[in-house]
A and B are shown apart, each in its own frame.
Chain A
Amino acid sequence: MSFIKLLIISSFLLLATPGQAQQVEVVKFPALQKRLSQPNDTTYVVNFWATWCGPCIKELPYFEQANKTYAGQKVKVLLVSLDYASQLDKKVKPFVQKRGLKSEVLLLNETDPNTWLGKVDDNWSGAIPFTLMLNNKKQKRAGFEQEFTQAELTAQLTKFLR
């Protein structure tokens, strides 16, 4: 990669994250999509959740555990909050701090799910929690519109990484 290219990318990264305070970045869907379409060998485990969603909160520790287990490997856990952007400071940031979440947390700031849900997974009806596992280099993608137990998540992730 040329130096110029590197410079452009790094300056873009710097510019793209000015709103990042207290480790919750607010993104629009195209930014998330771009992030998830890089042609690298990283397996993304993307969990869509919200502070108001009981089953989501219940399974968050399992994703935190996966984040820990696969640290140093090409596995990236992304927790994408579907809370309203207006709740960022009131609900989301305090929640993330209180729980001491270590995985990267994003807040997806989109008002109309009909415009983006199908682009994440055609079979996703919109119930959360929803989890997407994907690896672009291996051209693998799997969506789960369900709540996981720890054992189920471990099993599915192990299977996906095989």
Chain B
Amino acid sequence: MKKLTSFFVLCFGLVLLSAFVRPSGGYQVGDTATDFKLKNVDGKLMSLADNKAAKGFIVVFTCNTCPYAQAYESRIIDLHKKFAPQGYPVVAINPNDPAVAPGDSFEKMQARATSKKYPFPYLLDETQNVAQTYGATRTPHLYVLTRHGNALKVAYIGAIDDNSEEPTAVKTKYVENALTDIMAGKPAATNSTKAVGCTIKWKKA
């Protein structure tokens, strides 16, 4: 009985501790990612659960207007072309409030997705809840999710590669390396990287 009590005390302590360890919110590698239901540029609502065949997802918070997002746009398209056939499609999410960034309105998203022939969904996070839940702070900000049964877990957070300006000068392809590890059944050797980007344009309170 005494053992059981101390077990419960320990559990309670851990729960209490975990509440304090992560006060700022947002995902860390290893966390379970919650699904969402967001409007795609084709006008239909989309969830990750719609694609049960996927082994995981490359979720990227991006937008029309940020120069860094633009610099990485074609590389995001290439990521999808390379990894969707291997079970890891790209899902792009625009978290910006169009009232603050008019160039990121739903209509402008549709126009961009059409003109650049996005091969992946481009979703609007109208309430900004998804960006907040994930802990996204900038565009582009990328998360690799891997499937564990019905759950999706965060396996990588961060940058796409090590040179935003010059794709030909890239030395380390952070996301591709992470995905290579993951597809080999290993955790990503580098599972978190930092990148410069534009602030997410949050709704003015």
Residues of A in contact (CB 8 Å), total 22
User: B193 — which chain A residues lie within 8 A by C-beta?
Assistant: 114
Complex Cα spacing A125 to B163, Å: 17
- B114 interface residue per 8 A CB criterion: no
Residues of B in contact (CB 8 Å), total 23
Q: What's the count of A-B pairs with C-beta under 8 Å?
A: 59
Complex Cα spacing A53 to B198, Å: 7
Question: What are the interface flags for B180-199 relative to A under an 8 Å C-beta threshold, 1 for contact and 0 otherwise?
Answer: 00000000000001111111
- B138 interface residue per 8 A CB criterion: yes
Task: Say yes or no: A113 contacts B199, CB within 8 Å.
Answer: no
Checking A52, A124, A129, A146 against B67 with a beta-carbon cut-off of 8 angstroms, the contacting residue is A52
User: B165 — which chain A residues lie within 8 A by C-beta?
Assistant: 84, 86, 111
- A134 interface residue per 8 A CB criterion: no
Smallest distance from the beta carbon of A119 to chain B beta carbons, Å?
10
Task: Say yes or no: A128 contacts B199, CB within 8 Å.
Answer: yes
Complex Cα spacing A53 to B169, Å: 24
Smallest distance from the beta carbon of B119 to chain A beta carbons, Å?
27
User: A55 — which chain B residues lie within 8 A by C-beta?
Assistant: 199
Task: Say yes or no: B195 contacts A113, CB within 8 Å.
Answer: yes
User: Which chain B residue has the least Cβ–Cβ distance from A111?
Assistant: B163
Which of B164, B165, B198 has most A Cβ within 10 Å?
A: B198
User: B172 — which chain A residues lie within 8 A by C-beta?
Assistant: 112
Question: What are the interface flags for A118-150 relative to B under an 8 Å C-beta threshold, 1 for contact and 0 otherwise?
Answer: 100000111111000000000000000111000
State the 3 A-B residue pairs at the shortest beta-carbon distance, nearest first.
Answer: A127-B138, A112-B162, A117-B194
